[in-house]
Amino acid sequence: MVKQNLKRSHGIEKKGGGGRSRILKNGAIFEQAGVNFSEVYGKELPQSIISQRPEAKGHEWFATGTSMVLHPKNPFIPTVHLNYRYFEAGSVWWFGGGADLTPYYPYLSDVRHFHEKHKNACQKVDKNLYKVLKPWCDEYFFLKHRNESRGIGGIFYDYQDGSGSIYKGNNKNGRAYQVSNEISALNLDWENLFSLAEYCGDAFLPSYLPIIEKRANKNYSEEEREFQLYRRGRYVEFNLVWDRGTIFGLQTNGRTESILMSLPPLARWEYGYKAKKGSREEFLTTIFTKPQDWENDQNLEAFCIANNIFD
């Protein structure tokens, strides 16, 4: 890492508290990489959260968390994101977080590896957690206006206070809701949920570093770079239109530079783009932007092997 490419910033939030951001630009592996730490508080939570947790209305609130988004230069290395957070408002508290992977030229072995490490982390707390957090991630990181996923998912959870069912989302027709109902309540306490964030945070490097090491020296063409930039456009669209973390940060008058550090330094849009039939670009847009049973689908595995996108 070249020292002059690392930018540091400290922010004091208008509502109270503050945070730290570290941004790496034009590194050997990452075109841009950002890490945020925040500890903020205020008089009342925004309506976007009150609508989910109405019992928090009228209480002063406190929130702390960390987030990371890494945008590699090489199109064969996926973009990765994680976020783990904790909220309090009066006597109300909850944890949220998760991690997800966004490939541009995916390989099923990489996808399976990322999911396996996070599944193992979840199972340290309860064997059933991953069964809900995986489809919940598929549901959350979905661009409704494009009818496609941002990437290949990972894990996601929110509003976890140990009460009731695991799934706290609003889609009663989704897989996460159905599985959560089948499992029923897990009766997790504060320590269990803190451990979940800790175990999942510890799983990040083992889940991602081997993918970097495997793909970093792979040569790529200008066309492959252009496709990476095109798909980064989808990343921008999700973060600006759908991401609740972005919305929360802006609604609470947070530091805009830190809130938007998740955006890639370069992206592009192309009207009416269609990938060539049978190309890796087509496989990305037709298979790897749809929720899949990455671990167990033998037909998917056979297809990836036959088309040289397994490993």
Active site residues: 81
Spell out the long-range contacts of 187-193 with Cβ–Cβ below 8 A and sequence spacing 24 or more.
187/162, 188/125, 188/126, 188/160, 188/162, 189/162, 190/93, 190/162, 192/125, 192/126, 192/162, 193/95, 193/125, 193/160, 193/161, 193/162
Burial-class residue 135 by CB neighbours within 10 Å (0-12, 13-18, 19+).
buried
Is residue 176 within 8 Å of residue 136, measured between CB atoms? yes
Concatenate the DSSP letters of all residues of the chain into one string: --GGGEEEEEEE-TTSEEEEEEEEES-SSEEEEEEEEEEEEESS--HHHHTT-GGGTTS-EEEEEEEEEEEESSTTSPEEEEEEEEEEETTEEEEEEEEEEE-SS--HHHHHHHHHHHHHHHHTT-TTHHHHHHHHHHHHSEETTTTEESSSEEEEEEEESS-S-S--SS-TTSHHHHHHHHH------HHHHHHHHHHHHHTHHHHHHHHHHHHTT----HHHHHHHHHHHHHHHHHHHHT-HHHHHHHHTT--HHHHGGGS-S-----TT--PPTTSHHHHHHHTTTS---TTT-HHHHHHHHHTT---
The label of the residue with tokens 């790529």 reads 220
